[in-house]
């Protein structure tokens, strides 16, 4: 069983790094970008490279929907590449020269951090990484100065949102040096009761301290969410009947929009969590979330909205039967 998968969908550790003697990515030219890609590829052994420079926009968006790259990286006009090995992905020539990230399912901060450090150590030993004794790692955005690490978890918090308790938690998070965002990170909206919680402070803290503090906060939120779910279940069939009905709509609809799917997904996932929906597990349900997103669903085809909605319902029905 994946650790705390009922509340934590995934864990991410991300490092931002820049190479000395090159300007930040916003000032790079095509030649410098290609040089940086070659340098990074040379020190990261065993990584598979995908050159995204001339990738079709629809295909690039599929990478975003799968959380393999950031939305900004998908639309870059300069040479840029993705290096992948297991759970480790490296975006080369994003906002910083190097954005190294490890994403694992469930609540796996320690293992994600350990895995990220392996590749980061290779970068630090094989490249001249920009670093200042007072400011720490030098980054394009000043808010990343210091350890230049973002540790985050993607949490499913429907019960806290429904009971109104989430507002108080969000307020406390900001005071503790953490921020809460939507499913695709900075600037995105929360959908399906999915929230990304990450550290907002990088100066004056070690990476280990950041991981430990986030781990403590997430553990507390998990407890609050589970308690709120128990209260919903204890309220009786009237409270959880909509969750059971949502599974029927999800399984038998002939057409379905993205927005409708996300709403049903959240209800069904909560139903699974409190034990009133037993026909489906987290693995199948969560894999559907990416599979029926617009660009991934289209598989490179130019589909109309009506065609996508029909295909989405067909894919869902096939997965659930």
pLDDT digits (tens, 9 = 90+) for 37-46: 999 999 999 9
Same domain, 195 and 104: yes
pLDDT given for residue 182 in this prediction: 73
Is residue 185 scored above 70 in pLDDT? Answer: no
CB within 8 Å of 62: residues ≥ 6 apart = 295, 296
Q: How many domains does the chain have?
A: 2
Residue range 194-230, pLDDT digits in tens: 999 999 999 989 999 999 999 999 999 999 999 999 9
Which structural domain range is residue 266 located in?
A: 237-320
- Please check whether residue 209 lies inside any domain of the structure: yes
Q: How confident is the model at residue 183 (pLDDT cuts 50, 70, 90)?
A: low
To the question of pTM greater than 0.95 for the whole model, the response is: no
Chain-centroid distance, C-alpha 245: 29
Q: How confident is the model at residue 155 (pLDDT cuts 50, 70, 90)?
A: very high
Same domain, 109 and 201: yes
Same domain, 224 and 243: no
Q: Look over the chain and give the mean of its residue pLDDT values, rounded to a whole number.
A: 93
Q: What is the dihedral of CA 223, 226, 232, 234, to 10 degrees?
A: -90
Which of 201, 228, 255 finishes a domain? 228
Which of 228, 248, 267 finishes a domain? 228
Q: Judge whether 103 and 89 are in contact, CB under 8 Å.
A: yes
Nearest residue to 147 via CA among 214, 220, 69, 73: 214
Place of tokens 């994600």: 112
Same domain, 241 and 224: no
Tokens coding 41: 């590829």
Instruction: Look at the alpha carbons of 62, 63, 66, 72 in this order and tell me if their dihedral is positive or negative.
Output: negative
């Amino acid at each position: 069983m994946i650790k705390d998968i009922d509340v934590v969908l995934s864990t991410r550790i991300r490092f931002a790094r820049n190479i000395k003697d090159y300007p930040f990515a916003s000032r790079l030219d095509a030649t410098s970008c290609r040089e940086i890609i070659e340098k990074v590829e040379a020190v990261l052994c065993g990584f598979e490279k995908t050159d995204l420079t001339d990738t079709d926009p629809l295909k690039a968006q599929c990478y975003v929907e799968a959380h393999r790259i950031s939305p900004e990286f998908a639309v870059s006009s300069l040479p840029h590449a993705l290096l992948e090995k297991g759970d480790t992905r490296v975006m080369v020539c994003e906002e910083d020269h190097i954005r190294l990230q490890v994403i694992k399912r469930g609540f796996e901060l320690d293992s994600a951090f350990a895995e990220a450090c392996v590749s980061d150590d290779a970068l630090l030993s094989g490249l001249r990484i920009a670093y200042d004794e007072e400011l720490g790692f030098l980054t394009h955005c000043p808010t990343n100065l210091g350890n230049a690490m973002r540790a985050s978890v993607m949490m499913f918090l429907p019960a806290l949102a429904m009971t109104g308790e989430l507002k108080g938690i969000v307020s406390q998070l900001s005071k503790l040096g953490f921020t809460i965002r939507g499913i695709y990170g900075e600037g995105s909206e929360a959908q399906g009761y999915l929230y990304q919680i990450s550290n907002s402070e990088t100066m004056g803290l070690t990476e280990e301290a950041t991981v430990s503090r986030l781990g403590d906060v997430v553990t507390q939120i998990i407890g609050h969410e589970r308690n709120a779910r128990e209260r919903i279940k204890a309220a009786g069939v009237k409270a959880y009947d909509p969750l059971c009905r949502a599974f029927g709509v999800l399984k038998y609809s002939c057409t379905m929009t993205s927005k409708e799917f996300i709403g049903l997904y959240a209800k069904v996932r909560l139903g699974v969590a409190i034990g009133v929906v037993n026909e489906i597990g987290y693995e199948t349900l969560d894999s559907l979330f990416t599979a029926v997103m617009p660009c991934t669903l289209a598989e490179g085809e130019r589909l109309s909205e009506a065609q996508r909605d029909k295909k989405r319902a067909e894919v869902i029905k096939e997965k659930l039967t």
